[in-house]
Chain A
Amino acid sequence: MADVATIIPMQTAGAPPKLSRLGAWTERHFKWVLVAPAVGLILGLSIYPLLFSLVVSFINYDFQVPGHAFVGLRNFKLVVFDPVARWSLVLTAFLSGTSVIIEFVLGLLAALAMVKSFRGRSIVMSILIVPLFISPVIVGQAWTLLLQRPFGPTNYVLSQLLGHEVTISWLTQAPWLYISLIAADVWQWTPFMFVILLAGLTSIPQNLYEAAELDGVSAWLAFRAITLPYLMPMILLALTFRLLDAIRMFDTIFIMTGGGPGTQSYTASYYLYTVGFTQFHLSQATAGSWLFLIFTAIVVTLLVRRLLKPEAV
């Protein structure tokens, strides 16, 4: 009996405590309770705005025209038939493509130069990546100060170097304004390419190069036969990430050229900003954003497929 008396409390002690109804419900649905805040945030801050923006692109949502009447595809037509929108898309492709290619080439060269250890390498590397940490607005302002006439020193320095007066309008005259915008972008984002490609280069097994050296393979052939194939996944990764960022180019344009002269430096982002927040045609800007998203999605899908291909093989 005494044993039983000892055992019973032990059994009771081992049993789960009795919970309130709320506690029991929480216990049953604990995994859902855990993910609920995250799901709520995603629904509230991503899915709802996305769906709402889709609705907005089919109605009148203009801060100058009262009412929210359904307008069908009118907002999309306004964008598609707007020559400024078409130009902004072309310019976005040109600026982002050119910038990313230059950044890739410079980043690769820098990574190749830095892959071997040398005295002061860490200092040089730190200096190289500093632009990455600067806000694009500040980068735009700094380049404006360098290039803007009459105060910027660029023309003066060029005049001294070339021996005759240089009077280039870097921010208001094509093609110089494009060169300026690309230069600012390249200055800031080449380190991004550099860092990723350097990581890729350091992961290539050294014995491959040693074997190639024993076989008397030239440096160029070793680069083509070993470095490039092994680096390709990182190259695609870097190009994808950078391109995704470059097509959203806005800050430097806002600061350096203000979209001008005329609409000559309107990128897609700048166009959408102007329509939405200077002219307050929010539904047109939203429709334009959806179209831009579709274009971007096509580019990204192609790149990501290419990116995943080596893994599939």
Chain B
Amino acid sequence: MNDRERRDFEAGLAQEVDAFLRSESTRRTFITRFGQMTGLLAVSGSALTAVTDWALAQQAAELADPSTPLGQAQALALKASQEGPKDGSAFRAVEAAKQFSGVTLNLTYEAGLQALDPRNFSGPMWEQLTGIKSAVVELSNPDMYSKPVAEHIANSGAYDVLDISPAWTPSLADGGVIAPLDDYIAKYMNKADLDDYHPLYKALPTYKGKIWGFFDDGDMFALYYRKDIFEDPKLKEAYQAKFNAELAPPKTWDEYNRIAQFITDQLAPNVYGAGHFRKAGSPGNQFDFLQQFRASGGKLFDDSMKAGIASDAGLKTLQSMIASNAASIPGNNELDAVSLWAAFLTGKVAMIYSWPPTGRMAANYSQSAKAINFIPQSQIAGKVGYAVVPGNPEHATGFNKALAAGSSNLEAAYLYMQWVTSPPVSLARVMLPYALRDPYRLSHFKSELYAGLFPSAKEYLYNLNNSANVGLLDPIMPGAQDYFLSIDRMCTEVWAGGDPDAALKTAAAEMNATTERLGVDSQKAFYAEFLKLPGATADNTVEKLGMAVKLD
């Protein structure tokens, strides 16, 4: 330091010291501290990331007691992934994925219980097997569509594996948001594992001849009823005397309404005949309308793509639903799915139709997990019977695993999808008490381990399989959510006393406006693609196509 530099330094220092003594900051200290703060933030950001990564890496897969059916299924999943069979999809995925060790896959999942599976079980196990980390991005249901589209537009590559509603497949495929899997399947998958899907679900991710995902959640509606009530000798006798028919699980909607009303008349206010989730925005209305409407011969769209709900079938469906409401628990129209479960589990309702977790909750299996203990303990365990919903049950949404086209780890992401949906791994996942993923493979429905989860699990599984044989798919096409919204608004308007005929016409007009907005010709093409799928209408269910797998 020469004299000049020293003088400058000392002068600056004097200013600094004077300013310090006056409790003032100089510009220089401000800038210096601002720079230091920014630097610290950057450093702490990276440090925090490293700490977070380390903390996540410490989390091992959460495994059940090995003596339990779930523990055994998890052990088998691990064994199949590590030891084979060598031609199994799980083993092949793991072996091929090891080359990508160290990368991180970003997985979108519905926020809440759904995300516990990749966080607690499948994600850590996959990392243990392959060294590939997974980051679970929890999103609300609508965001599971909008965020991947937004990220695709921004070309950010933010996601690798997407959990999507099957209804979104055509939009996402045509928009380039998701990638087809055919080449990867040819390269890595054991084709026998594709044939293990129930026929209803096998074709579901197919669009324009290509496979756009792996189906991953068998959301089949089924009827759950109180066996003790249906088998009560006095009630059976009274029902026989009144209707000259046996009191048994209903096969038609007329029977359903008649039995519901009969039980309500006999047992209310202790028990009511039925309950439904009819609250606006809870999807019960749309699913129920769609299943009854199509089972009654209704066509969602005619040849010119005009909505077909303002028809005799539509009116008949609404009238049947109104009769069901009248025979149901008070407040039926205010219930959402969870409060309906509460009503059923506490023994207030004799029949409900809903998603598969109903059976697991009724047996008190789900509630064994802390994460789901907000659901009341079942007071009807051991008293619940299973039947196919009258007519054709709705497959109410479900989930596909899809490959994000913008992923920078396409192959690793695909291999994860193949592994996580492979027969042994997916079995362990659908057996998790908290995860809300429901059986969808034939090997799930036939699984002895699953059948050991609770005393009536075997009948439960068989019923889900048999329901899928005659099940109907939600429309898989752009605008599906608009059509659903119109149906939901129509139903709740009618529940509040609106004229069914007028409500049908309003909803049909809304649906037509949606079709016109999206383009009549393109919607027609999308609908034609949908109609090719087994389960698209009551005339081409898996059973009617001769592909049913009967389990008795």
Interface on A for B, CB 8 Å cutoff?
A: 9, 12-18, 26-27, 30, 33, 63-66, 148-151, 167, 169, 171-174, 257-264, 274, 277-281
Give bound CA distance, A150 to B333, whole Å: 10
CB <8 Å contact, A13 and B279: no
Give bound CA distance, A6 to B288, whole Å: 98
CB <8 Å contact, A150 and B11: no
CB <8 Å contact, A279 and B482: yes
13 CB contacts below 8 A, A to B, read A13-B10, A13-B14, A63-B146, A65-B517, A148-B334, A151-B342, A258-B281, A259-B281, A261-B495, A261-B496, A262-B490, A262-B492, A277-B142
Give bound CA distance, A236 to B503, whole Å: 43
Give the nearest-CB partner of A64 in chain B: B478
CB <8 Å contact, A172 and B333: yes
Picked from B7, B143, B174, the residue with its CB within 8 Å of the CB of A13 is B7
* A63-B146, A171-B334, A278-B142 as given contacts; A260 in contact with B7, CB under 8 Å: no
Chain B residues, Cβ within 8 Å of A174: 496
Chain B residues, Cβ within 8 Å of A264: 493, 496
CB <8 Å contact, A262 and B146: no
Is the CB of B145 closer than 8 A to any CB of chain A? yes
CB <8 Å contact, B282 and A66: no
Give bound CA distance, A4 to B368, whole Å: 92
Chain A residues, Cβ within 8 Å of B482: 279
CB <8 Å contact, B171 and A169: no
Chain A residues, Cβ within 8 Å of B492: 172, 260-262
Give the nearest-CB partner of B150 in chain A: A63
CB <8 Å contact, A257 and B330: no
Give the nearest-CB partner of B349 in chain A: A150
Chain A residues, Cβ within 8 Å of B281: 258-260
Give bound CA distance, A64 to B150, whole Å: 12
Chain B residues, Cβ within 8 Å of A13: 7, 10-11, 14
Give bound CA distance, A279 to B480, whole Å: 9
CB <8 Å contact, B330 and A17: no
Q: State which residues 1-32 of B face A: CB under 8 Å.
A: 7-12, 14, 27, 31
CB <8 Å contact, A148 and B339: yes
CB <8 Å contact, B334 and A279: no
Chain A residues, Cβ within 8 Å of B490: 262
A155 to chain B, nearest CB (A): 9
Give the nearest-CB partner of A33 in chain B: B31
Give bound CA distance, A266 to B81, whole Å: 51
Picked from B8, B142, B331, the residue with its CB within 8 Å of the CB of A148 is B331
Give bound CA distance, A258 to B537, whole Å: 30
Interface on B for A, CB 8 Å cutoff?
A: 7-12, 14, 27, 31, 142-143, 145-146, 149-150, 171, 174-175, 279-282, 329-331, 333-334, 339, 342-343, 348, 478-479, 481-482, 485, 488-490, 492-493, 495-498, 503, 517-519
Give the nearest-CB partner of A65 in chain B: B518
CB <8 Å contact, A277 and B334: no
* A15-B11, A18-B8, A172-B334 as given contacts; A274 in contact with B495, CB under 8 Å: no
Chain A residues, Cβ within 8 Å of B479: 64
Give the nearest-CB partner of A37 in chain B: B34
B197 to chain A, nearest CB (A): 28
5 closest cross-chain pairs (CB), A and B? A260-B280, A149-B331, A258-B281, A262-B493, A261-B496
* A63-B171, A64-B478, A260-B489 as given contacts; A151 in contact with B496, CB under 8 Å: no
Picked from B146, B279, B481, the residue with its CB within 8 Å of the CB of A172 is B279
CB <8 Å contact, B31 and A26: yes
Chain A residues, Cβ within 8 Å of B495: 172, 261
A17 to chain B, nearest CB (A): 4
Chain A residues, Cβ within 8 Å of B517: 65, 281
Picked from A30, A63, A65, A257, the residue with its CB within 8 Å of the CB of B145 is A63
Chain B residues, Cβ within 8 Å of A15: 11
Give bound CA distance, A17 to B145, whole Å: 59
Chain A residues, Cβ within 8 Å of B481: 278-280
CB <8 Å contact, B331 and A151: yes
Picked from B7, B333, B348, the residue with its CB within 8 Å of the CB of A169 is B333
* A27-B27, A30-B27, A149-B330 as given contacts; A263 in contact with B478, CB under 8 Å: no
CB <8 Å contact, B485 and A262: no
A145 to chain B, nearest CB (A): 10
Give the nearest-CB partner of A147 in chain B: B334
CB <8 Å contact, A280 and B145: yes
Give bound CA distance, A279 to B339, whole Å: 26
CB <8 Å contact, A279 and B485: yes
A66 to chain B, nearest CB (A): 6
Give bound CA distance, A281 to B479, whole Å: 10
Chain B residues, Cβ within 8 Å of A17: 8-9, 11-12
Picked from B174, B334, B496, the residue with its CB within 8 Å of the CB of A262 is B496
CB <8 Å contact, A149 and B496: no
CB <8 Å contact, A277 and B146: yes
Give bound CA distance, A27 to B12, whole Å: 14
Give bound CA distance, A63 to B10, whole Å: 63
Give bound CA distance, A64 to B12, whole Å: 63
Give bound CA distance, A12 to B11, whole Å: 8
CB <8 Å contact, A262 and B149: no
Give bound CA distance, A53 to B298, whole Å: 41
Chain A residues, Cβ within 8 Å of B329: 150
* A263-B489, A278-B142 as given contacts; A63 in contact with B149, CB under 8 Å: yes
Chain B residues, Cβ within 8 Å of A151: 331, 339, 342
A166 to chain B, nearest CB (A): 11
Give the nearest-CB partner of B285 in chain A: A260
CB <8 Å contact, A278 and B485: yes
Given A63-B146, A64-B479, A262-B498, 16 additional A-B pairs, CB 8 A? A13-B11, A17-B9, A26-B27, A33-B31, A64-B478, A149-B334, A171-B334, A172-B334, A172-B495, A173-B496, A260-B281, A260-B488, A261-B493, A261-B496, A280-B145, A281-B517
Give bound CA distance, A277 to B389, whole Å: 32
A256 to chain B, nearest CB (A): 10
Give bound CA distance, A169 to B329, whole Å: 13
Picked from B343, B496, B518, the residue with its CB within 8 Å of the CB of A64 is B518
Chain B residues, Cβ within 8 Å of A18: 8
Chain A residues, Cβ within 8 Å of B7: 9, 12-13
Give the nearest-CB partner of B331 in chain A: A149
Which of B146, B329, B490 has the largest number of chain A CB atoms within 10 A?
Answer: B146
Give bound CA distance, A167 to B269, whole Å: 13
A276 to chain B, nearest CB (A): 9
CB <8 Å contact, B331 and A257: no
Chain A residues, Cβ within 8 Å of B485: 274, 278-279
Give the nearest-CB partner of B142 in chain A: A277
Give bound CA distance, A172 to B339, whole Å: 15
Chain A residues, Cβ within 8 Å of B339: 148, 151
Chain A residues, Cβ within 8 Å of B478: 64-65
B186 to chain A, nearest CB (A): 29
Give the nearest-CB partner of B278 in chain A: A172
Which of A18, A33, A262, A263 has the largest number of chain B CB atoms within 10 A?
Answer: A262
B42 to chain A, nearest CB (A): 15
Chain A residues, Cβ within 8 Å of B279: 171-172, 258, 260
Chain A residues, Cβ within 8 Å of B498: 261-262
Which of A30, A260, A277, A280 has the largest number of chain B CB atoms within 10 A?
Answer: A260
Give the nearest-CB partner of A13 in chain B: B11
Give bound CA distance, A173 to B9, whole Å: 79
* A65-B518, A260-B281, A261-B493 as given contacts; A150 in contact with B145, CB under 8 Å: no
Chain B residues, Cβ within 8 Å of A167: 330
Chain B residues, Cβ within 8 Å of A14: 11
Give the nearest-CB partner of A63 in chain B: B149
Give the nearest-CB partner of A273 in chain B: B142
Give the nearest-CB partner of A61 in chain B: B153
CB <8 Å contact, B171 and A64: yes
Give bound CA distance, A173 to B278, whole Å: 13
